[in-house]
Amino acid sequence: MSNSYTPTSYKDRVVVITGGSTGIGLETARLFAADGARVALLARRAEPLAAAADQLASTGAEILTFAVDVTDESQVAATCSAIEAKWGRIDLLVNNAGTGFATDLSKASLADFRRIMETNVTGVFLCVRAALPGMKERKAGHIINVSSVVGKVANPNAPLYCASKHALNGYTSGLQQQVAADKIRVSLVSPSAVDTDYWAGRPVDRSKFLQPAEVAAAIRFIAAQPEGVLIKDLDLTALR
């Protein structure tokens, strides 16, 4: 019996990434495209998506882009159907789309609450629900949800964002258990602060933050595990 480690190859596999036009999503797409995967990028705005596709063109990989709001049930369903019609399946779904901002709970509006919860939790629910039937039918697939260390220990600055990540963690744990018998892997990656547009306009020193490419490398590492191995949750922090 061999004890050698054989990473999962993503050549010709179908990878779907939400929030795929910038930051962690784009860097993740870059890695999988370089592996020879077929990559579908989902994001709200068409222009950044087009720019992302241009950046990935040098890899020679097949790239699809979809301007889609992950909180819109019909848009998500139509997008996943289009991907499966084009490429036959979804092998890996990376739920990276997210939003957050500082909130004072004594003043935060219901619109603030809904904006965060719908993107960070409802969006994941809708994307997973759309991709899961095909994965269950094939008895294969991997879902990676991008959470945060504040999904385990909250902070006082962005409590609604923290709450959304706590909810995502609970959802992910339940999903892991429900689909294990179908040979579908479900993983969570929980980084500390990452130098992305999440921090735009805030007076924060980002010099010691994780870089998007570092989180992308962790996502690729999780996906690269042999088919019978599941990394349930990977915490990341910067040592700078």
208 is catalytic: no
Neighbours of 201 (CB within 10 A): 7
Which of 131, 102, 130, 95 minimizes the C-alpha distance to 116?
102
91 close to 41: Cβ distance less than 8 angstroms: no
Question: DSSP letter string over 146-192?
Answer: E--GGGTS--SS-HHHHHHHHHHHHHHHHHHHHHGGGTEEEEEEEES
Longest Cα–Cα distance of the chain, Å, equals: 62
10 is catalytic: no
Q: Sign of the CA dihedral 164, 45, 101, 97?
A: positive
Provide, for the chain, the percentages of residues in helix, strand and coil under a 3-state DSSP scheme, each rounded to the nearest 5: 45, 15, 35
Report the relative pairing of strands 184-191 and 63-67 from DSSP bridges.
Answer: unpaired
User: Catalytic pick from 10, 161, 171, 198?
Assistant: 161
User: Catalytic pick from 136, 139, 165, 198?
Assistant: 165
Catalytic residues: 161, 165
